[in-house]
Every structure is written in structure tokens, then in C-alpha cells.
Amino acid sequence: AALALLCGSAAAVVVWKWLGKRQIQKKMEEARRTRDEGVKKMEGAGNPSFWGVPSVQTDAILSLTLLELTGRLQEGSLSPKTVLCTYLEKASAFPQLTQQTNCLRHFIPECEEQLQEIRWQREKGLLYGIPVSIKDHISHKGHLSTCGLVQCLDTPVQEDSVLVKVLKRQGAIPFAMTNVPQSLFNYDCSNPIFGQTLNPLNHQKSPGGSSGGEGALIAGGGSILGIGSDIGGSIRLPSSFCGLCGLKPTAERLSVWHTRVLNMDVCSCPTPVPCALGPMARDVDSLALCMKALLCQEMFQLDPTVPPIPFDEEVYSSSAPLRVGYYDTDGYFPLPPCMRRAVWETRGALQAAGHQLVPFSPPRIHYVMTELFLKTFFADGGRTWLDAFTGGIVDPRLKPQVNCCKIPRLVKKLLALILRPLQFFLLLKFKNVATISTCRSVKEMWNHHHQIEVYRTEFIARWRELQLDVVLCPVLGPAFTAGYPGKLLTAISSTMLYNVLNFPAGVVPVSTVTEADEEELRLYRGCCDDPWDRTLKQVRKRKVAEQRLLLDAREELCLRFMKEVETLSREK
């Protein structure tokens, strides 16, 4: 009888687990079906007859820059209907963009309502009639903010995020939500619900993450302006991988109200390394126009925590010479030779243009990466992050990190004790969250916050000692082969530094990979010629993407410097 009871219990557990998995699969299938139906609606909406407008020269409209397009819309030589129709067609009806890159997460059918709404606005906003794409977790009323997680598939958002409200007030038309990596904690772009997003420039490559869907859609020509988010490089890395311009503002400069991370509102989970929302586009002027549009009274009224500081056009338009700090490596993760070459070529061009270049070395990057950045997100041993996967499926790209977080604390302590003699080597090269220390008490957490402030003070003191205006440095790139970013988590040291500092930072493409770069990469040994250096070499064997630079200062000055670099690189 006891054996029968035991067998019955075991069978019940198996059935219960099977039913749970089946329920998860149904939820995921329903989400995919809804997405696919949305894309079909999008295809229909991309047909000029749907809007009752005559056939247009699609290529002519798609070739316009954002500044040119806004000019044509403001003067009335193009209608918002025609422009929206053009971008809907490009985003949905071109198989090489939607089917092969899988960048769209959902079509926003309310774009038709917004199109009617802007007709009755008293004044044409700065983004009047501009179709805009937004990242999955930026809330839009009536739609899901999934973060690629099954537990987020049940409840549509009840209210637009502040940023979406301001975009609409400025006449923009949000028309699509784009794909993200599961939990946003990856600079690849894959989740088990909507699948892997690929780079439109080379379908073997990743578009970067976590704003990878945005990067792919804009680089593929399906959007002229997108809004991403950045907490470790999530705007800058997709911009780098996809050949775009991207800006991570200071976290407080644009509102993050009603933006969700791990099924929580960003504002409900404050962190010393905050999330920032920012624009992505094909040129720097587009970023500047977007920031100018967003930094308006509507933003300041809807979110009183945003400093009421309008965009400073005088700083952006200035031509005064700059004092520029520069470095080609942070000493933590050695970037491939082509990225360092880009820094030196740009340094020469800036110097020839009359700017003053000063060598600069960011302090203690190993300490910042392990003790400040990663410890912020795994202060509780990763428990909050692991909870996000409850009742769902973990994406294969994240399984190594998830499994490391699941190691019991006692086992981690024993491993730390055994590996203590190798502490320096681990600090230098070990790429695994299992080695990250945690905060075991509230006092330790407060001390951790204090150490971040101490580092910021140290960095600013060095900056001021050299009297710098901006800093020029490399960013991770060109694009990695899809699947490899998860194997090189801490390769993001070049971007995460400016999240810890909460400085504005931007990316602008400056060059392309040359045959000489390929040859130098063949001989590349990195720092220690260890498995991580060899992995980086494998990631980059094919010639795909452009190189980009990371530029840091306050937003207007950062954009002004990016514009200078963009102009010089185009002249070259």
C-alpha cells in the first residue's frame, strides 16, 4: 500500500509538472500568435490604399534624414499618413527585415488613433508625424511589457509611460514595440517567447542588447527613430553592433516612470546604478532633435523628479575647441585591434581640427566591474533576478548565469576559499557571476552605495585635474556572432563604467573593418591568450560591422562632440 501511495504521488508530481509546462507553452504560443496577427495588420496598414493615400516613392521618403523629414512634414509637402504608411510597409512587408531579423515584438494599432489626434493639436510638435518605435519594456497603454518573461504575459499595461505621453504630445506616432533579451540582462537579443533577433547587416551576427530589436529595426530601415534603455550599455552596444548613433543620457534627464524591469516599475526598485532611457537613430542630429523634443514642459510636469532643464541649443551648436581626454583600452577587457585603431585615427582628426587631446586613464576598472557594477545587480545573490523566471522557461543564452546564481551560498563560500590563491587571476579574467560578492546585511548595502559615491568623486577629481570637456574612448564591437555575448558577459566594461558614474555617453560610427584589421585579428592574443581571449577572437572572425566610439560629457556637449566626430569621419 505504501509503495502504491509513493508511486501515485510520484505520478501526480509528474502530471502536475507536465500540466505546468503545457500551460507555459500555451501562454507563449498565444503571445506569438498575437504578435504574428499584429504583423499581418501592420502589413495591411502599410498598403497606401488602407489610408486612402496615393502610392508614394517609398525610397525617396526612407532616404530622408529625420531633420529633412520633419521639415517636409512641418511645411506640409508630406503628410503624416504618407510617412506612417511608408514606414509600416518597410517594417512589416520586407521579409529580409521582419522574417529574417525577428526584430518586431508587437505592432501598435493605436497609431491610427494618434494619427487622427495630431490633426487636432493646436501646434505641431517638434516630432509632428514622425513614426517612432519603442523598446518592449517601455509601457504603452493596452499592450504587454514582457521583458521576454512568461510571468509578464498576463496583464496589459494600464497607462502610457511618461516618455510615450511626451512623444505623443510632440506629434510623434509610436507604431511598433521591439524585441529584447529575456530579463534584459544580456547584450544578445533572445528570449524563449519571441525568439532570437538577428543583425540586419549580417544574419549570423547579434544586433546587441538589450535594445537589440530597436537596433535591428532602425539599421534595417524600418524605423527612423527609436527609444531604448541603458543600464550597462543597452543603447550603446546595439548602436555599435548595428552601425547607429545612440545616446545614454544621465538617468534623471528623461523620465523612466512606468518603465518596467523584471515585472516591476523602474521607480519602485531604486538602485545606485540607475536605468536611463534614450534615443537611437541613424545620425547625431536625430538624437539631438529627439532630446530637444522630450525636454519640454510636458515632461517636467508629468514627472516632477526630472530637472526642468530644456535642451541647450547654444552648447550643441557651439564650435569652440574642446579639451578631449582619450584612451584606447580600459585595462580590463582588451578590445580587438580595429577598435583601438579607430580611437587613434579619430584622435588625429580631432587634433587636426584644432581640439586639444589629453591622455586619460579611468581608475580601477577591475574594482568598478566586480565590486561596484556587478555587485549592484547581484547584491542579494541574484534571488530577485531568479524570481523573474518563476513559472517560465529560461532562455539558453542565460542558462550559464542562471545556473551560477543557483549555486548555494555555502558552496560559493567553499569555492571562494579554495580559489583564494588564484584571486588576482580571477579578478583579472574570470567571467562568471559565481565569483561576485553579495551584500549580507543592510549595513553592507549602505556601504556599497557609499563606495559608488566615493568612486564617482575620485573619477570627477581626475577629470577636473586634467580640465577635460569630454572623453573619447572605444566601445565593444564590431558585432558578435549570435549566441556569443552570453559567453563574454564582462566584455561590457567599456560601457558599464558610465552607468556606474551616471554620466551621459554616446556612440557614433566612424570607420569600417579593413583587411589589415582582419590580419591583425588573426594574430590577436589579447591579455593572457586564455579561453576568454580566444572566444573574443572567434566572435569576430567575419568582417561585418563598423567601429564606433564612446563619448562622455553632459548631454548637449556629448552630442556636440559626437556631431564633430561624425562630421570628421564622413569627411575622411
Domain assignment present for residue 202? The answer is yes
Both 222 and 305 in one domain: the answer is yes
Q: How many domains does the chain have?
A: 2
Both 95 and 179 in one domain: the answer is yes
Taking residues 269-278, what's their average pLDDT? 87
**pLDDT bucket at 163, cuts 50 / 70 / 90:** very high
Domain assignment present for residue 464? The answer is no
Q: Using only C-alpha atoms, what is the Rg of the chain?
A: 24
- Using a pLDDT cut of 90, give the percent of the chain over it: 63
Both 299 and 394 in one domain: the answer is no
Between residues 411 and 129, which one has the greater pLDDT?
129
DSSP 8-state assignment for residue 334: P
Taking residues 66-71, what's their average pLDDT? 98
Residue 255 has pLDDT above 90, yes or no: yes
What's the pLDDT at 33? 95
Domain assignment present for residue 453? The answer is no
Domain assignment present for residue 15? The answer is no
Contacts of 205 (CB under 8 A, 6+ apart): 198, 199, 241, 479, 480, 481, 482, 542, 544, 545
* Residue that has been written with the C-alpha cell 511598433 in this structure: 176
What's the pLDDT at 217? 97
**Distance between CA atoms of residues 321 and 353, nearest Å:** 8
Task: Output the CA torsion 333→363→496→186 (10° steps).
Answer: 30
Taking residues 33-59, what's their average pLDDT? 81
Residue 507 has pLDDT above 60, yes or no: yes
Both 503 and 390 in one domain: the answer is no
Contacts of 518 (CB under 8 A, 6+ apart): 543
Is residue 231 annotated as involved in ligand binding?
Answer: yes
Both 331 and 381 in one domain: the answer is no
Residue 521 has pLDDT above 80, yes or no: no
In angstroms, how far is the first alpha carbon of the chain from the final one? 84
Both 416 and 515 in one domain: the answer is no
What's the pLDDT at 95? 62
Both 252 and 304 in one domain: the answer is yes
Between residues 346 and 425, which one has the greater pLDDT?
346
Between residues 541 and 498, which one has the greater pLDDT?
498
What's the pLDDT at 436? 62
**Distance between CA atoms of residues 213 and 215, nearest Å:** 5
Q: Looking at 423, 441, 459, which one is the last position of a domain?
A: 441
Cell, residue 137: 519594456
The catalytic residue positions are: 135, 210, 234
Length of the chain: 572
Taking residues 532-543, what's their average pLDDT? 50
Between residues 242 and 52, which one has the greater pLDDT?
242
Taking residues 236-251, what's their average pLDDT? 95
Both 146 and 284 in one domain: the answer is yes
Residue 92 has pLDDT above 90, yes or no: no
Domain assignment present for residue 448? The answer is no
Most confident segment among 166-170, 393-397, 532-536: 166-170
Both 171 and 51 in one domain: the answer is yes
Average confidence score pLDDT of the chain: 87
Is residue 8 annotated as involved in ligand binding?
Answer: no
Domain assignment present for residue 532? The answer is yes
| Per-residue pLDDT tens over the stretch 401-411 | 888 888 887 77
Is residue 234 annotated as involved in ligand binding?
Answer: yes
Which of 202-211 are b and which e, b meaning 16 or more Cβ less than 10 Å from the residue's Cβ? Answer: beebbbbbbb
Would you say the C-alpha torsion 248, 249, 252, 257 has a positive or negative sign? negative
CA nearest to 502, candidates 564, 443, 555, 448: 555
Cell, residue 149: 518573461
Is residue 232 annotated as involved in ligand binding?
Answer: yes
Taking residues 283-295, what's their average pLDDT? 98
Both 378 and 473 in one domain: the answer is no
What's the pLDDT at 105? 94
Q: Where in the sequence is the domain holding 359, given as residue range(s)?
A: 28-363+469-571
Domain assignment present for residue 125? The answer is yes
What's the pLDDT at 334? 85
Alpha helices (H) in 46-161, listed in sequence order: 48-51, 58-62, 66-75, 80-93, 95-101, 111-119
CA nearest to 428, candidates 361, 509, 497, 370: 370
Is residue 295 annotated as involved in ligand binding?
Answer: no
CA nearest to 138, candidates 41, 210, 186: 210
Both 249 and 152 in one domain: the answer is yes
What's the pLDDT at 426? 47
What's the pLDDT at 534? 56
Side-chain half-sphere exposure of 66, counting CA atoms within 13 A: 28
Residue 199 has pLDDT above 80, yes or no: yes
What's the pLDDT at 168? 98
Is residue 365 annotated as involved in ligand binding?
Answer: no
Residue 422 has pLDDT above 70, yes or no: no
Domain assignment present for residue 23? The answer is no
Residue 128 has pLDDT above 80, yes or no: yes
Both 392 and 497 in one domain: the answer is no
Q: Looking at 441, 459, 492, which one is the last position of a domain?
A: 441
* Residue that has been written with the C-alpha cell 529595426 in this structure: 217
